[in-house]
């Protein structure tokens, strides 16, 4: 994949999360996807995590602030809106993720956040 195609896939992931579109997960994530941040594997784990976070925070919106692609990885800095921080007037949480892409799908993800 080109760098632009890799960025497009990452943006597609965030758009699906923002829309709560679980049907997109199987197309976006590899069947043996590994989330190092959550300690889970498989697209099914992504669906469960997305459903849980959308249930707890139905107004959650992830906005991409920075995105870089190199080799088979995309690095992304996002801001999370629709969290309790917004309601408390605090700065919204940020998330840094590194996504590895293989065969046109997200194969691995590493992430850190300042979300409390």
At residue 69, does pLDDT exceed 90? yes
Q: SS3 for 57?
A: coil
Range of the domain at 12: 3-113
Query: From CA 24, how far away is CA 111, in angstroms rounded?
Result: 21
CATH number of the domain at 9, please.
Answer: 3.10.450.50
Q: Which residues contact 52 (CB under 8 A, 6 or more apart)?
A: none
Domain count, the chain: 1
How does pLDDT run across 6-62, given as a tens digit for each residue?
999 999 999 999 999 999 999 999 999 999 998 999 999 999 999 999 999 999 999
Digit-coded pLDDT (tens) for 79-107: 999 988 877 888 999 999 999 999 999 99
């Amino acid at each position: 994949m080109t760098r632009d195609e890799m960025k497009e896939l990452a943006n597609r992931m965030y758009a699906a999360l923002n829309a709560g579109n679980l049907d997109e997960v199987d197309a976006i994530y590899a069947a043996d996807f590994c989330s190092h941040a959550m300690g889970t594997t498989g697209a099914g784990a992504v669906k469960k995590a997305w459903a849980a976070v959308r249930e707890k925070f139905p107004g959650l919106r992830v906005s991409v602030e920075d995105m870089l692609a190199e080799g088979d990885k995309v690095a992304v800095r996002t801001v999370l809106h629709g969290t309790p921080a917004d309601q408390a007037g605090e700065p919204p949480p940020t998330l840094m993720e590194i996504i590895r892409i293989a065969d046109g799908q997200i194969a691995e993800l590493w992430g850190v956040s300042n979300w409390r």
